[in-house]
C-alpha cells in the first residue's frame, strides 16, 4: 500500500510541475533540423544588418561520426567528457547602407556586402555546460549572391530594388572560427509554479570576417523548459542551440539576454582584407540586447527574438533592431 501511495504522490507532483520537479530517466536524443530567418523588415527598416538566413542539421550524440566525437574531445576548450553533436550549416548574411536608393551611396554609410558560407560545428554538452566550436568557409562579395537574394525578396514584397550594389565589397574567400561556452549557472528552479534558469557565456571569433571576444548571459522563465540553451541565432550573437529535448508535451517560455563584444575586425565595416574597398570607422565595442518567446511541442520548437544592437560605426544614424524567427524540428 505504501509503494502505491508513493507512486501516486510522485505522479501528482510530476503532473503539477510539468515533469521538471522530479528526476526522471533521460529522454531519447534526436537529430534536428533548424530554419533561421533574421531581418529588420519586422521593424520597418532596411539598413545595416538587414537579412540573414541559415539552415542547420544537427546530429544526435549517437549519430555523430566517431571521428568527429574523438576530435571534439581532443580539442582545447571543449568538454572531454560530454556528449558530442555535429552541426552542418548553410547560411547567408546581407548588409546595406541606410540609403539604398542612391546609385552611389555616401562613403560615411556601411558598404553593401554579402556573406555566403558553409559551416561545420562541434558541440559538447554536459548537464550544465555547452561548448560550441564552428568553422565557416565561404565567400564575401558578388559571389555571395547577396544582391540576387535581396532583389528577389524585394520583388516579392513589391519594394524598390536597392540601387548601389555596384559598390559592394569585392570577392574574397572567407574563413572564420568561432567558439562559445555557456553554463547553466542556475539550472531550472521552481518560481511561483513556473521554472526559471540562467546561463552566462563567454566566447570569441577569429578569421578574416570577424575577430572579437564576447560575453554575456541569458535567462528564461516558463513551464516545461526544454533541455537546451535557448533559440538559435546567427553570429555574432548570444549562443543558442540548434537542438532541444522536450521535457513535456508542450512548453512555453520568455527569455532575455545581453551580449557585449570587443571587436578587432569586422570585414563588413573595415572593408576587404587584400584590396581597397569601401569602409567606415567602426566602434571597438558593441553589443546586443535580446527579448523573446518560444513554444515547443514533442518534435518542434518555434521562437521569435527581438534584437536591439548598439551603433557599430561612426556616423551610423541610430542603433539597429531586427527580428529572428527560428523553427527547429526533431527528426
Specify which residues 32 forms β-bridges with: 58, 330
Give the mean model confidence (pLDDT) for residues 136-148: 98
Instruction: Kindly report, residue by residue over 51-66, the tens digit of the pLDDT.
Output: 999 999 999 999 999 9
pLDDT at 324 (0 to 100) = 98
Residue 154 has pLDDT above 90, yes or no: no
Mean pLDDT over all residues of the chain? 92
- Percentage above 70 pLDDT, the chain: 92
Residue 1 has pLDDT above 50, yes or no: no
Distance CA 239, CA 251 (A): 20
Among the listed residues 264, 320, 267, the one whose alpha carbon sits nearest the alpha carbon of residue 290? 320
Instruction: Kindly report, residue by residue over 202-245, the tens digit of the pLDDT.
Output: 999 999 999 999 999 999 999 999 999 999 999 999 999 999 99
pLDDT at 157 (0 to 100) = 79
Q: What are phi and psi of 144, to 5 degrees?
A: -75, -10
Specify which residues 207 forms β-bridges with: 176
pLDDT at 16 (0 to 100) = 40
User: What domains, with CATH codes, occur in the chain?
Assistant: 30-330 (2.40.128.140)
3-class secondary-structure state, position 58:
strand
Give the mean model confidence (pLDDT) for residues 259-268: 98
C-beta separation of 172 from 225 below 8 A: no
Give the mean model confidence (pLDDT) for residues 25-41: 87
Give the mean model confidence (pLDDT) for residues 300-310: 98
Place of cell 540586447: 289
pLDDT at 11 (0 to 100) = 41
Residue 6 has pLDDT above 80, yes or no: no
Residue 4 has pLDDT above 80, yes or no: no
Please give the helix or strand (H or E) that residue 243 lies within, else none. none
Distance CA 200, CA 181 (A): 8
pLDDT at 7 (0 to 100) = 41
Residue 25 has pLDDT above 80, yes or no: no
Amino acid at each position: 500500500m505504501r509503494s502505491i501511495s508513493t507512486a501516486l504522490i510522485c505522479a501528482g507532483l510530476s503532473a503539477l510541475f510539468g515533469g521538471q520537479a522530479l528526476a526522471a530517466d533521460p529522454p531519447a536524443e534526436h537529430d534536428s533540423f533548424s530554419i533561421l530567418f533574421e531581418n529588420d523588415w519586422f521593424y520597418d527598416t532596411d539598413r545595416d544588418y538587414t537579412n540573414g538566413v541559415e539552415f542547420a542539421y544537427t546530429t544526435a550524440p549517437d549519430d555523430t561520426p566517431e571521428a568527429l566525437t574523438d576530435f571534439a574531445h581532443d580539442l582545447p576548450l571543449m568538454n572531454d567528457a560530454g556528449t558530442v553533436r555535429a552541426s552542418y550549416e548553410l547560411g547567408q548574411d546581407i548588409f546595406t547602407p541606410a540609403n539604398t536608393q542612391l546609385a552611389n551611396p555616401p562613403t560615411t554609410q556601411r558598404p553593401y556586402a554579402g556573406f555566403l558560407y558553409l559551416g561545420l560545428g562541434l558541440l559538447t554538452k554536459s548537464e550544465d555546460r555547452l561548448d560550441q566550436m564552428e568553422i565557416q568557409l565561404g565567400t564575401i562579395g558578388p559571389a555571395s549572391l547577396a544582391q540576387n537574394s535581396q532583389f528577389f525578396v524585394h520583388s516579392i514584397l513589391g519594394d524598390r530594388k536597392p540601387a548601389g550594389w555596384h559598390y559592394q565589397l569585392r570577392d574574397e574567400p572567407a574563413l572564420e572560427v568561432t567558439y562559445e561556452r555557456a553554463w547553466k549557472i542556475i539550472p531550472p528552479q521552481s518560481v511561483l509554479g513556473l521554472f526559471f534558469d540562467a546561463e552566462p557565456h563567454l566566447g570569441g571569433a577569429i578569421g578574416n570576417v570577424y575577430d572579437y571576444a564576447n560575453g554575456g548571459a541569458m535567462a528564461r522563465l516558463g513551464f516545461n523548459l526544454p533541455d537546451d540553451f535557448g533559440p538559435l541565432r546567427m553570429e555574432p550573437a548570444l549562443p543558442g542551440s540548434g537542438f532541444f529535448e522536450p521535457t513535456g508535451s508542450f512548453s512555453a517560455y520568455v527569455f532575455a539576454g545581453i551580449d557585449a563584444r570587443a571587436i578587432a575586425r569586422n570585414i563588413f565595416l573595415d572593408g576587404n582584407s587584400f584590396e581597397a574597398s569601401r569602409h567606415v570607422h567602426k566602434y571597438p565595442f558593441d553589443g546586443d540586447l535580446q527579448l523573446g518567446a518560444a513554444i515547443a511541442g514533442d518534435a518542434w520548437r518555434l521562437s521569435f527574438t527581438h534584437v536591439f544592437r548598439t551603433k557599430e560605426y561612426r556616423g551610423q544614424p541610430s542603433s539597429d533592431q531586427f527580428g529572428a524567427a527560428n523553427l527547429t524540428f526533431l527528426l
